[in-house]
Structure 1
Amino acid sequence: MAAAASLLGLPSVILMPKDAPKTKVELTKAWGAEVVTFDRFTESREELGAKLREERGATLIKPYDDPLIMAGQGTLAAEAVRTCAAEGWTPDIFISPCGGGGLIAGCSTSVRALSPDTAVYSAEPAGFDDTARSLAANKRLANDPAARSICDALLAPEPGELTFAVNSERLTGGLCVTDDEAMTAMAVAFKYLKLVVEPGGAVALAAAITGKVDCKGKNVLVVCSGGNADAEIYAEALKRPLPF
């Protein structure tokens, strides 16, 4: 968002949790954005965002519960599925990280349109598997306020209202991984794929390599999103023993 605003010559204010990776904060500021921090566990992002909008006369862009955000993120899956088709194969399974549900909502819409027989799963960190639990209950469920995870990008308190309406119709199911499994997936991505992935961005890969869904003999399309990991966390991830 900061980069887009900079390219358009517009000022931007980014509301970011206090526990966000330092590298993420620094790079956001490098694009000229003002970063306003808050405590994600004691303060309401929605209330703070509404207050900033009123005080500054700004346009509020939500992180996931917005049709245009979902549509934009869905282009990722559209491009990926079309690339697969151009190479002569079709994904049997599609897995994407999920926080508030915007990315997987957009992606599931694209996958269903272009490859209707592909099974589509969300992947979430343990303790923040609200989409998986909500899908099973057929209603939105919140996470335990005491829950914690290293996957800082996926710690939404509950599924978005708009995103869940989409995901409840289009997802095959929801998968859940531990922080340790996410960290191991970061190491796998680095060694075998030469990718730098943050913990939250690695949960879909973690779900695939730990067998949260049966991937044997199948074409699996996994989204690895985000590389905002501080050096200390990344170094710790690379110490993990690889599963293969």
Structure 2
Amino acid sequence: MSAVRPRILVIDDEPQIHRFLSPALDAAGYEPKRADSGQEGLRGIALWSPDAVVLDLGLPDMDGKDVLVRAREFFVKPIIILSARDREAEKIEALDLGADDYVEKPFGVGELLARLRAHLRQPVDRHDHAGPLTIGEVVIDLERRLVTRGGAPVRLTPKEYEVLANLARHSGKVIGHAALLTAVWGAAHKDDTQYLRVLIGQLRQKLEGDPAHPRLIETEPGVGYRLMSEPAR
């Protein structure tokens, strides 16, 4: 008996997107599903219970962000935004509304597949890891509040640990600047991105093999940071 393939629902009104993305998903071991409008996409989510959704923002019947909001009322699995809208405000709003990731058009199918693999590896509730999170030679044990690199303990300041812990709870997902600043420093500091930039630099010095070319903590320009679920190559 053949193994059940993860279902990926692509909600996009551009036929050419489906023409090249459906075969790519199929070749990568997924079962592609298609929807050409927001309403059709919402019905597809309810009907097919996909393992992940790739959602365009520019749909013919409704804004993709409205689809996202309505989907999040009943769907908890990964939703990756796929859109030609490249304004930072659009990315931030989509992430704040519950998107797990954002890929700009035009895009490389390899990048999209890598993002899908990363999100499908994560538990649905990222706040509850079954055990320590291992990324290359770095191990983050949230239960014991212990971080090691190559088996040796890493000394972190309380703020460094809190930022890393917040990223680890959502590993593989972009966390916005304001969300990280509010979680660690409080709402009064949600715009103090310089605090965060300095602290991320300190974490990279302690955790990365080459801090100038980080493979563990990735920057999403203008949006926030992502703790990779596996080391970037």
Q: TM-score when scaled to structure 1?
A: 0.31
Which protein, 1 or 2, shows the higher relative CO under an 8 Å CA cutoff with sep ≥ 6? 1
Greater helix fraction, Structure 1 or Structure 2: 1
Greater strand fraction, Structure 1 or Structure 2: 2
Q: TM-score when scaled to structure 2?
A: 0.32
